Structure 1
């Protein structure tokens, strides 16, 4: 009975910590807003699932000790450079394509590509060096503490963490979609433009970090 209580505590602790991370502004949130505006509400949960699949492998990696490798300056600099370049490209694409889309196109998207959104969720996470920093510090601590309960403890921690991401990004997408009827095309384009600029600036910042780390 005591072990079950510990497992439940691990789950809810991870869920709450996960919400604090998911709610923080960053490239993944900007991507979710952009894709929701262009593809509808399913974009949010699909991006979050792609993000969660990547985190499944990072949890396994940290569990077997790969966090020491991820902590190296070389790895951090490499992630900053290539991740920054990817975000700059994604930001530019968003800015350029901004005026080619219409708010009415998002209501029933006919070209929603689930695999692309899953991949984007993973790649944008992978491009963010701070995602790695979170996992080799806070995430690694959660895994170590959960490992006292074996595989069940680590699994409970992982499920709690990814559930926070999926719930949060689904909620963001649903809120955006429900607000479509109140959005004019002008505001819609400003939102997309803002997301594109944010992704571009985050990319520039990560590239700058490559030279300053």
Structure 2
């Protein structure tokens, strides 16, 4: 029974990490454009390469959050973080819903080309050079993550709150959450690179719009649940 309870808890953590990861991944942004641009030259392998760079940046955030937690972590601190993080999740969710129409009508191929990711010589600009597939897709994953304000804001607020809640449960809960999150990131980026390397779209614009609405709604709902139930979660 005890073992079964642990398995159920870890499964919940894995699903939570996956759902949070896919909710953020479906929004078109610099990392998606970098993957699309690189896929025209490197095929499906662009996805895993960009993911490695992205995961390295996230790993740095995980270490900083958890190392810092060991020095000041207490249930009252996590409770405050849960409220702040939950509020930020609500805000992020509402922004996703607002941006759903824009995301569904965006021509991601043109957007990728506008970043000089799919063709042309390497620009002398630092940002463009770093994003160009010929300069390395791993570095593209690092830069498009580290310089993305949404990504940084997420891990400094809501992401930190979730990770610290998992930390209170145990290191296996943290590991399950991270694994689920990375499965979502890797799976989506591979789907994007595989699809665009064949000259097709991952999903239709109509389906994309619905998916963004769904993920935005989930994010806002989970943020509210996080704030309301943070004391129960801590117990």
Q: TM-score, normalised by structure 2?
A: 0.56
Runs of 4+ aligned residues of structure 1 deviating over 3 Å after TM superposition are 90-93, 97-100
Q: How does 1:14-53 map to 2 (within 5 A)?
A: 14-53=17-56
Deviations 1:96-147 (A, max 9, x none): x8356xxxxxxxxxxx87x921122112211112211011122112202211
Deviations 1:133-178 (A, max 9, x none): 0111221122022112321111111111111110000001111123
Distance 1:138 1:120, change over 3 A: same
- The equivalent residue for 1:134 is 154
Deviations 1:154-213 (A, max 9, x none): 111111111111000000111112337x9xxxxxxxxxxxxxxxxxxxxxxxxxxxxxxx
Q: CA RMSD in A?
A: 3.0
Q: How does 1:24-173 map to 2 (within 5 A)?
A: 24-65=27-68, 94=116, 98=119, 116-173=136-193
1:91 to partner: Cα distance: 8.0
Distance 1:64 1:176, change over 3 A: same
Please list every run of 5 or more consecutive structure 2 residues that lacks an aligned counterpart in the other structure. Answer: 73-111, 122-132, 202-235
1:53 to partner: Cα distance: 1.7
Aligned length: 147
Deviations 1:36-74 (A, max 9, x none): 1132221112101210121111111111238x9xxxxxx
Please list every run of 5 or more consecutive structure 1 residues that lacks an aligned counterpart in the other structure. Answer: 69-89, 101-111, 183-213
**Alignment check: 8 A CA contact 1:142 1:157 kept:** no
**Alignment check: 8 A CA contact 1:146 1:153 kept:** yes
| Distance (whole Å) between structure 1 residues aligned to residue 199 and residue 115 of structure 2 | 25
- The equivalent residue for 2:207 is none
- The equivalent residue for 1:179 is 199
| Distance (whole Å) between structure 2 residues aligned to residue 136 and residue 157 of structure 1 | 17
